[in-house]
Amino acid sequence: MEKDTIVKLNKRFEEYAYEQDGVEYWLARELQELLGYADWRNFLNAINKAKDSCETTGEAVSDHFVGVTKMVKIGSGAEREQEDIMLTRYACYLIAQNGDPKKEQIAFAQSYFAIQTRKQELLEERIQLMERLQAREKLAATETELSKNIYERGVDNSGFARIRSKGDWAMFGGHNTSDMKRKLGIKENRPLADFLPTITITAKQLATEITNFNVKKNDLKGEGSITSEHVKNNKDVRSLLGKSGIKPEELPTEEDIKKLERRVKTLDKEIAKKNLKGKKD
C-alpha cells in the first residue's frame, strides 16, 4: 500500500471518530463507507460476525455494539428514523478482521484498529499494575514514617520489627509475619508486602496510617503502648474486610513486586513503540 494512501486513510478514520464520556466510538453507517461496503445488508453480516467473535472472546457485546436511532433527511426537508450502531474501537477491529483483506480499506483498518486496540490493552494492563505498585510504595512510605515516629518515642529498629509483626498477627487472624511467609512460600529475607494483593497492601497501609496518627495525637511512648495501638488498628481494619467476606490470610500471593516493576518498564517500551508506529502510519 502506498504511503500517501496510508496517510489519507489514517486521516479519514481519525476524522470519523467520535467521543462520548471519554469513550471513543465510530458509527456503523459511516464505517460502512470507510470500509468500502456499498450495501448496508452486507455490512450488517460483517457486524454480526464481529458480534459472534466478541462473544467468543468473553467480552460483553452490549459494551461494544450499541444500537441507536437517528433522524436523516430524505428530501424536501422531510426526515425519517434510521437505525445505526455505535461501535467501540474494539468492535471496529473485529469488523475489520471479518472483512475482505484484499480490499484496500479493510487491509488498512485491520492494522489500524489492531495497533490501537493493543495499545489500549497495554494501557489498561499498565494501570492495573501501577495501582499495586503505588499501593506498595504508599505502604513503604507510611511504615518509614511510623519507624521514625516511634524511634523518637523510645522504640529501636528491633522493636519496630516486633510491632509490625504483631500488626500482621492481628491483620492475618493469628499469623505473624514469619507465619505468613511460611504459609505463602515467601523467603524470610523478602518483605511480605512484596507478594500481597493490592487489597491487603492497602489494608496494612490504612492500619499503619491510623497508628501513626494516634501515636502523635495521644503522645504514645514505648513499645508496649504502641504495639497495643497497632494491633487494635489492624484488628479494626481486618474486621472491616470481614464484612465483605475478605480474609487476608486466605488470599493468594501475587506477582513479586520486583518482577512487576520490570514488567511495567517493558510495557512502557511497547506502548512507546505503538505510539511511534502510529505516528509513522
* pLDDT per residue as tens, the chain (281 positions): 456 656 666 677 777 788 887 778 889 998 888 888 888 888 898 899 999 988 988 889 998 999 888 766 766 667 777 788 999 888 888 888 887 777 788 877 877 776 666 666 665 667 677 788 889 999 999 999 999 999 999 999 999 999 999 999 999 999 999 999 999 999 999 999 999 999 999 999 999 999 999 999 999 999 999 999 999 999 999 999 999 999 999 999 998 988 888 877 776 676 556 544 544 44
Amino acid letter for position 57: T
Q: Please state whether the predicted TM-score (pTM) of the whole model is above 0.85.
A: no
d(CA 230, CA 237): 11
Query: How much is the pLDDT for 123?
Result: 59
Element (H, E) at 145: helix 104-151
Only one residue has cell 489514517, namely 10
DSSP string computed for 189-253:
TS-GGGGS-HHHHHHHHHHHHHHHHHHHHTT--SHHHHHHHHHHHHHHHHHHHHTTT--GGGSPP
Q: Record the cell numbers describing residue 10, joined without a space.
A: 489514517
Query: According to the model, what pLDDT value does residue 272 have?
Result: 57
Distance CA 168, CA 160 (A): 12
pLDDT (0 to 100) of residue 248: 96
Residue 145: which of 84, 212, 197 has the closest Cα? 212
